[in-house]
Amino acid sequence: MKRGIRTFLTFFLAAALLAGRARDLGVPFDGTPGPLNAITDVAGIEVGQVTLVSGEGKSAVRTGVTVVWPRGKSTGTSVFGGWFSLNGNGEMTGTTWLEESGLLSTPVMITNTHSVGVVRDAYIKWKVGKLGRDADLDEWSLPVVAETWDGFLNDINGFHVHESDVFAALEAGKGGPVSEGNAGGGTGMVCYGFKGGIGTSSRKAGPYTVGVLVQCNCGRRPQLRIAGVPVGREISGDEPYAANFRHNGEDTGSIIIVVATDAPLLPNQLKRLARRASMGLARTGSTSGNGSGDIFIAFSTANPEAAKASGLANVTMLANDDMNPLFEATVQATEESVVNAMVGAETMSGYEGHRVIALPHDRLKEVLGRYKRLSRE
C-alpha cells in the first residue's frame, strides 16, 4: 500500500513543481537567488523527502519526513552550526549538543510533532546499519529532529510515520529542485490559513550563497503580508480552524527554518544567522504566537575540518564586519521561502474531512497589482 501511495505521490509532486513559484507570479523580492532558488543552491546540500498521503476521515494520513543533508547523504554531515528559538512551543532535538559543540553532526530532519521520537531513533538505527553493530559512541547519536503539528489534516494520534519511512527519506537525499508545499514533513501543514508546508529559496551574497528551507505551519489569515501588502485581509474566507479553535484568529502553528550557507562562519556567527530568520518571518506578518514552535537552525558547509576528531583543525572565518550581506540574504530567502510554501501547495482535505485551500494565485496577483507591488505581468 505504501508503494501505491508513493507512486501516486510522484505524480502529485511533479504537479506541485509545475505549480510555479512565488516570483513566477510576479511577487517582488529583493536580492538575487541562486539558479534553483532553493537550499540546494548551496553546494553539497541534499534534500530527501517522504510524503505519506492515504485514507480519509479518521484515518487520513497526511504527513511525512523532510531531511536536509548538509554535506550530502554519503559523505558525512558534520558542519559548524547554531540555532535560535524565537518561540519555543516546539521541539528540535539535538540542540543541546549543537549549542555545546558548535557542530551539527547529523542531517536536519523535520516531521510531525508526534513522530519526532521515531525519526530520532530511526536515524541512529540507520547509522548503526551503516557503521556496524559495534560502532562506538559518537555525536551522531544526538540527532537533530524538528517538528510542526499537522493534526488538522493528518491523523497525528495514529502515529503513521514508521522507521522505514525515515530510512527512505534519508536515502532519498539528492541535490536539485526541492518539492514544495504538500511535501515531506510539510505534507499536512497550514500557513497563514492557506495550505502550506515546505518552501525554499536562496540568495547570492557576494561570493557566497545562502539557502533556506522552511516547514511552514504558522500564522493566521489576517496576519499575512506579502511584499508588504496585507494580502491576508484582502483574501479572506475559507479559513480553517474557524469553529473549533479557542484561539481562533490568533497567531498559532509553528515554523521550522533551516538556513544554510557556504560562507565560512563559526558557530557563534551561525547563531547570528539563525536569529535573522525571525526578521524574514516577520515580514510575512507573523508575531510568533504563544502556540508557535518557531525554531531556526543555521549551518555552514565551509570548513571541511570543522569536525576533525582530534588535534588542530584549520578553519576559515569570515570577519563579522563582512556578514551584512549574509544577514540580508537570510532575511530575504526566509521571506521568499514562506511565500513559496504557500504558492507551491495544493488544496488538501484530510482528517475528519477538514479542508485547507491553497493560496489562489490569481487573486494574489490581482491584490499585489492593486497595491502597485506586482513585479511583472
Within residues 268-297, the interface with its own copies by CB under 8 A covers 268-269, 272, 275-276, 278-283, 286-291, 293, 295
| Contact by Cβ (8 Å): 260, 212 | yes
In terms of phi and psi (left: phi > 0; alpha: psi -120 to 50; beta: otherwise), the region of 229 is: beta
Q: How far apart are CA 352 and CA 194, in angstroms?
A: 18
Neighbours of 319 (CB within 10 A): 7
Rule CB under 8 A: is residue 107 a binding residue for its own copies? no
Task: Catalytic residue, from 41, 251, 262, 294: name it.
Answer: 294
> Which residue among the candidates 78, 202, 278, 292 is catalytic per the annotation?
292
If binding is defined by CB under 8 A, does position 315 make contact with its own copies? yes
202 is an interface residue for its own copies by CB under 8 A: no
Residue 294: active-site member: yes
Q: Measured between alpha carbons, how far is 199 from 213 in angstroms, rounded to an integer? A: 6
Q: Does the annotation mark 310 as catalytic?
A: no
Residue from 33, 70, 102, 181 binding its own copies (CB under 8 A): 102
Task: Please select the residue that binds its own copies; options are 20, 175, 230, 360, rule is CB under 8 A.
Answer: 230
Q: What angle do CA 71, 106, 142 make, to 5 degrees?
A: 165
Does residue number 212 form part of the binding site for its own copies (CB under 8 A)? no
Q: State the minimum distance, in angstroms, from the CB of residue 371 to its own copies.
A: 5
Give the span between the Cα atoms of 269 and 319, in whole angstroms. Answer: 9
Quote the least distance from Cβ 166 to its own copies, whole Å.
Answer: 10
CB of 322 to its own copies, least distance (A): 5
Using CB under 8 A as the binding rule, the residues of this chain from 17 to 36 that contact its own copies are none
* Residue spans of alpha helices (H) in 189-250: 231-234
Instruction: Compose the 159-198 pattern: x for residues touching its own copies by CB under 8 A, - for all others.
Output: x---------------------------------------
Distance CA 344, CA 342 (A): 5
Grid cell of 191 as nine digits: 500557513
Q: How far is the CA of 365 from the CAs of 79, 133, 163, 282, in angstroms?
A: 40, 56, 42, 21
Q: Let me know if 121 is a catalytic residue.
A: no
Nearer to its own copies, 183 or 297 (CB): 297
> Among 89, 71, 49, 326, which Cα is nearest to 199's?
49
Q: How far is the CB of 9 from its own copies (least distance, A)?
A: 24
- The catalytic residues are 254, 292, 294
